[in-house]
Structure 1
Amino acid sequence: MSKIYGSLQLFFVSCFALLGFCSSSFIARDIITLNQSVIDGKTLVSSGGTFELGFFSPNNSNNRYVGIWYKRNPVQTIVWVANRDDPITDSSGVLKLSKDGNLVLLNRSETMVWSTNILKAENPVVQLLDSGNLVVRDDDTNLSLWQSFDHPTNTLLPGMKLGWNLKTGLIRVLTSWKNHDDPSTGSFTFGVDRRGYPQAFVWNGKTKEYRSGPWNGLQFSAVPEMWPNFILNFSFTSTADELYYSFSLKNDSFCSRLMMSSSGKLQRFLVAKDDKSKSWNRYWFFPKDQCDNYRACGAYGICNASASLVCQCPTGFKPRDPQNWFLRDGSGGCVRKTEFGCQNGDYGFLKLQDMKVPDTSQAFVNESMSLQECEAACRRNCSCTAYANSKVTEGGTGCLYWTSELIDLRVYTEGGQDLYLRMAATDLAKSQDSEAHSSERKRLTVGLSVCVCVVVLVLPFICCFLSKKRKKNGCSSNKKTEVRASRLKGQGMQFVESNVSSRREYSGEYNKDDLELPVFDFATIAIATDNFSEANKLGKGGFGTVYKGKLKGQEIAVKRLSKNSGQGQQEFKNEVILIAKLQHRNLVRLLGSCIDGEEKMLIYEYLQNRSLDSLLFDKEKSSSLDWAKRFQIIRGIARGILYLHQDSRFRIIHRDLKASNILLDGEMNPKVSDFGMARIFGGDETEANTKRVVGTYGYMSPEYAMDGVFSVKSDVFSFGVLVLEIVSGEKNRGFYYDNSEFTLLAHAWRLWKEGKGLELMDESMKGSSSADEVLRCIQVALLCVQERAEERPTMSSVVLMLSCETTTIPQPKFPGFGHERIPLETGESSAKQESCTINQLTITIVESR
């Protein structure tokens, strides 16, 4: 019996040993040979353990794809997809080498879904390298027959080439996924254009969205952030055989990738290998501002993200369409004021500094010329419009010159290069005279600053005295102006621009020191709004009434501040300065202002769907907001606030985020508005304290409402309240449940804690919602309304959590104001309780950083 038992034991041991041998021969750690394959559920891992290849399903999709991803990251980060346009619908997929040496992907019926499509190989092997490159090579000669690096999807890794193999005709570009759930070919591509002097573009279909500028020896000219760089090496190779851009890591302790997102954003990410969280940090991205958009200001127009008016014309040029220059995006461009005779030499060259050079697709280039020789070549060609060095290294070398209109110009505060613009001698002389006086103006600045301070302190008393005297005499300039406006309209006359506005402003001249928004007189706005008729009234808020109007053929919204609104000169000045300098798709656009006596008005772009609260809290209209639109609104608001906190030139705290301050355009895209209470933070400033708490009850964070302490986390709290309101369709005040009065925050927390989060949803959109998205929004919102500011996420984390379904989201704790009962209120609920006195006068000097 014992012998039988021993024999059986030996038999089973032998079987297990044989199975182990078969399993190990079935698939090696990083290699596939002719006798091996990768089935769904098995993977290849690179020798250093950095990358892994296998089957995956993206986010909410059930489709199966073969892809490569970072193995060590907790969140699966896909960098390459084989069958992106041909998914397998079940788990039957097999990846293996065919007899002819091709790597093929087969489905359940053994139909070939994808192949490397190379010539026959005698002894091929497939290997996943630690660079993330999947290579098919001949095992005898070790020659590479095919590699995934030659066929990128949406990600560029260190060592990959983006560009052209001119011998074989191979073109390597990044192409976005269709969306988060679908890796198939999307709308956006990023690649190198070899026409003229090579540069890189982002295309949306066939439309150019972004231009990197040419390689200037250190970096792409439109990406000054590339140099100097202590982590990454960038290079651009241009030979008879190849033309490509690539990057490598100076430090092996980091990982980096460049990605073309499905929304059209080009982003570079970094992560330290010793970072335990392994979470990617966004290092660079496009677009950062309006000037990143291709030809944002049209021909000869110079885009300046640091200026109040983003689009400007260089000296000697004027807007092509002066009437609409400031009411549109400036894309009409600029034209010369003075034509000149090339043969007569009646011209010169204006030096523009810190520039992104124009589109070089049709530019002439000679790498061996000096700048002087370049100027001479430009002078000999009457079609030449400008010239510059092709490289900025060694003090400037090579020659670039243009013979057509200059497209896609912008100016930088740092970086960029010199551009020499051809112009009439008379206009050039005026420019030089202006420069001669600039140093004198600078010497006068200190004295003028003292005068301005004195005027600011004394002016309120003078205005107060004059105002009382005028009222006593029964004089009302505004009423007279309204009558005059009506009379002008009756005569069919157009509006009259205010003389307060500088004529230089309407010429659009490129002068950094003297730029403001258009200022219109009262008559102009009265005509535009039909004397502020009730028919044009859009709504009434805490600071005044908003009217619809039409100005220069464009629909506008006019915010007319009431005289007893409490928004003083400082708040009005804040709003004008801030909005004029902010450029983002999710921020409302300011077109101009009007100051006439006691009248203060702001002229905005008109948004068809008005404010979010007018739809959200109206039970009849709220049904028009299905979940897709609400989720779009939530993410749009988040992006707008992120821009204010992190990506704009200033760090800006809004301080009054609420549903009535979110406006909606015709496609339900949200735009944050009303910056009267906003505050600019300096570079090192993270929080501030005020004795004058302003904002709206129900949206204010605990530390701000109780102690007057505000920071970016104050806005995060308000955003959290706003998200809960959007999900529930209920206001965070006067909210009742089971005949007990609760805050919306307390109610949301109770449902979340009990696992009933979906019960918070507005009944009108339950049929259109995604449960996962709704719960994710509620969880993010509850994190945003935490009692302690330091426990709330930043807006960059919020945007990431809302955008990426695979991101791990922490569990929230009990929210701030969770026990509070908010009394029922009517109308606007402004927390501004005290009037501003002369003792609390604050002079804020806004300076660009």
Structure 2
Amino acid sequence: MAEKHMYKIIHFLFFCFCASHVAAVNNTLNQGNKLNFSTDTLVSNNGLFTLGFYSSGDPNISYFGILYKDSIYKGKPFWIANLDKPMANNTASLTLDTTGNLILSDASQDSVTLYSAQSTTNLAAVLEDSGNFVLQQVTTSGSTAQILWQSFDYPTDSYLPGMKLGVNYKTGTNWSLTSWLTDSFPTPGAFTLDWDPDIRELVLRRRGVIFWTSGQLLNNGTFEYTTFLAGSTQLDFIFNNVSDVDEAYLMYSVVTNEYTPADTLNFSMWTLEYDGSILDQYDSLYVLGPNLCDGSNTAFGCKRWEGSCRGKGDKFAVRSGGFDNPVPRNVYDNVSLTISDCKDMCWKDCKCVAATFGNSNRTGCTLFYGPFSQDLTGASVTYFVIVNDSPSPGRTNWIWIPIAIVLALAAILLGILLYLRRRKIQQKEKFLRELMTSDRPSDANELKNDGNMGHNLNIYSVVTIMEATNSFAIRNKLGEGGFGPVYKGILADGQEIAVKRLSRRSGQGLVEFKNELILIAKLQHTNLVRLLGCCIHGEEKMLVYEYMPNKSLDSIIFDESKKGLLNWGKRYSIIEGIAQGLLYLHKYSRLKIIHRDLKVSNILLDENLNPKISDFGMARIFNTNDMEVNTIRVVGTYGYMSPEYAMEGVFSVKSDVFSFGVLVLEIVSGRKNHSLFQLDRPIILVAYAWELWKEDRAIELLDPTLRDSYSKDQVLRCINVGLLCVEESASDRPAMPEVVSMLTSEATQLPPPKQPAFSTARSTKDTSFSEIRTENSSTNEVSISVLNAR
């Protein structure tokens, strides 16, 4: 512990901020100005953070970084811009030049470009209250127009609230931590800490080899092997896991709790130390202790080190003592080697008994091969010695009896588990035989191969799915729905597919899965997403769909940069296609289907931008003569639910009609229904369309990007139909056959609409839903069941 404090003192000495750095106490560097080594710093408005140049152990060089002000956390910077390229002292500066470049440089003309622009004006670099250094373009009024670069996108060895660990799929940016080489040298060291969004855990690697994992993120916001952080320290950590088609990352925030001292500022920082430990700096508690993963240990997320000659119980321990003189040893003075590299080299060298530093600056390695003599007084030099903590034979004799009892019980339990597993396999084989066509053999070996169901669906082998999706590589992930993630795949014949892995929380058993497959196989329409087949492997069940290259309608029509792809003719075609798909579900399919969750994000677009209705996770089956059904569990998406369903739990085909009406108005306007429009009061899209209709200004609802080319009659007809579909009373709304006729026949005389439901803005907390689904990518959830009519 004394040695640890010594290292912290060295931190303070090597990375102290010069007293003269108080000349410019503000948080902003304006365009055309610079920060000099000897005179200037930036200080955040809340006074917590300082940015400037810092001296290292070498008096001739400096680093540019950010630290907590007033020597909080021993004066060690938590972010450094030039880890691999220190600047010459006294001449170093940071410049935001007139062309928009943010550059570190010194008198030797050596430079580090943090951001490069071409003739960009109105820029400012700001040290924010979060500790994030941001280069932003500002408006003439001083507000932020856009962020061009930020230090949080380039973390070093520390993790702060608001900082991301993960990956940005669009830019290829990987947000991860890298340890320092030693406790005093900030050059990149041996350890990296990443967030793995597929298995939802933190992964620590030493030179690319997994060293430790945190275990999965638990429901209480902690990790399996860091549970002590929940409620027992001065701060509570709240982790937020975000995963979508653009990025996947872990972010955390903190709040004080009953253990927090009064009048204490709410700040936090995790640091990846040079020895691979992870330290919660606020409470000085280790998320991962420095000597926990010591060789053979596989508890608490540790991984056993590679080394064929090391046995069970072997581990590294810090011991005082010495060696016989002279003692065989190997000295490696390579300054890029850390103590963790030394221990790894010794572990793999079967003759090595201990390791320590090779150089006075705590770099390099010395490996010892002679017998070690321990000094129990602790006054001698300390080494990292390989010891064995396995219990002695005399202590283990008494435990054989309970071990034998445990083994017997384990054998009985194993027998039971094998019986249950065999029974489950037999059920699976029976299930698959029932789905296969009668002219195919029913040999169990066939379950390993691809086959064709009797319902025009395929059974894919797990090998086929893994090859198609590149073992569910994260770059192939399309999104995540309520029943599991969806991945893009390419079959051996070149066909593109979308594979949904049903999570265990979906609650679907084998029987429900079988019924669902057979049901969806019967829904065949050009405006419905087609299910190609399934794959069952152990406990995992997967659905395979046709791939939609243009994703969901909302990803285009609500994106200012993409909505131009949909001219009025294409939008009208999409509206008509959706109507035809709903008409098929309500009237012409073998079963009468109520979708219940029709919205723009559940409309997928093929390569020709033709619409396909997807996501039957909320769908329900009606008997042919049923008119409406009542349910006590209301599910759906706010803004698309009819009033009788949202308030009373009553749904029918007219519920889908209501959702279709909202969708039509969104497609016409290019705006979301919950967007607020200001007239004499804030109103939502449906109400705004009604106000324009009453004032004979309905054409103003049209998306401005379409004003140069459109059919006025078609636009007004679509708005009229949309308003008819969202009327308050279900009996006043047209059925889908009437809707299709109104859209496709110009001879059909349309009745004037009545005042629609939800004609004023309301928040989600005012609704009586028992569950509100958030809109989430273009995944196709499927969970259809039959309800009895009331």
The TM-score, its normalising length taken from structure 1, stands at: 0.37
